[in-house]
Amino acid sequence: MTERNGSGEALRTEGLTKAFGGVVALDGASVAFRHGQVNALIGPNGSGKTTFFNCVTGMIRADGGRTTYRGRDITRSTPHAIAHAGVGRTFQLCRVFPRMSALDNVLAAVRPAGLLGQLRGAHGRAEVDRARSWLTRLGIEHLADVEARNMSWGQQKLLELAGVLMSDPETVLLDEPAGGVNPALLDRIGGLVRELNAEGRTFVIVEHNMDLVMSISDHIVVFDRGRPIAEGPPSVIRSDERVLGAYLGV
């Protein structure tokens, strides 16, 4: 893992907007996520959370507004450039190669070293060892030779995360890591996030499981109708009337 440095903001948006036809998904969203912390982005279905992730990671182009990462403008950057800047990302629906083994899935996250290696599609021993170490860290080393399609949904979630971590991102965006995951794996994911954060990685997590969010987050931003309506530590968000209104209609 590379050395982490600095403090303050990791990711900031100013007036971020995105509409799909007549549906406004992001409505001038201005928000900041803190470097070195576990940040959460929560809100009702349709509040713009995944669209926000897609815009800030370059998967789709925002209609307006500005995004900066560690003070650098990435508004018009490509997904590859944003990843190279240090931002990794998982998806709500796992993006793994179903007919490839778990080990090959993790190795696919990095290019083989050297021109000859790239031509042959071969990875060096150091990369293979590092891939295996991530599988071990995430508790799925016993599945190294198993095709991803034969793994459970929760195991695929862990596999996707292993692939993201293989590129050594400074900041990791997780889109619903608890979705469809059994309680045992959910505890593992929560513990891993906290461990990796303690080692220096920043997290921004989109999640509906409030028990998980409240237990691992340092800072929470709440979206409703494409814009932030509240932010703060879990102790503040739990009792915020605007948050209760967005979720419960009260």
**Cβ proximity of 145 and 103 under 8 Å:** yes
pLDDT tens digits, one per residue of 125-171: 888 999 999 999 999 999 999 999 999 998 999 999 999 999 999 99
| DSSP states of 81-127 | HHHHTTEEE--SS----TTSBHHHHHHTTSPPSHHHHHHHT---HHH
Which residues make Cβ contacts (< 8 Å) with residue 210, sequence separation at least 6?
42
Determine, yes or no, domain membership for 1: no
Residues 129 and 179 in one domain: no
Q: What is the total count of domains within the chain?
A: 2
What sign does the dihedral 111-115-121-124 (CA atoms) show? negative
pLDDT at 123: 65
Query: How many CA within 13 A on the CB side of residue 36?
Result: 7
Q: Which of 108, 133, 168 lies at the terminal end of a domain, its last residue?
A: 168
Which of these ranges, 1-15, 29-43, 100-114, has the smallest mean pLDDT?
A: 1-15
pLDDT at 122: 58
Average pLDDT score, the chain = 88
Determine, yes or no, domain membership for 92: no
Mean pLDDT for 172-193 is 88
Residues 13 and 82 in one domain: yes
What distance in Å separates the CA atoms of residue 185 and residue 64, rounded to the nearest whole number?
Answer: 39
What distance in Å separates the CA atoms of residue 143 and residue 148, rounded to the nearest whole number?
Answer: 9
pLDDT at 2: 40
* Confidence class for position 13, pLDDT limits 50, 70, 90: very high
Could you tell me the residue range of the domain that residue 124 belongs to? Answer: 99-152+160-168
Residues 80 and 176 in one domain: yes
Q: Which has more confidence, 102 or 6?
A: 102
Residues 80 and 183 in one domain: yes
Residues 21 and 63 in one domain: yes
Q: How far is CA 190 from CA 47, 86, 153, in A?
A: 24, 22, 16
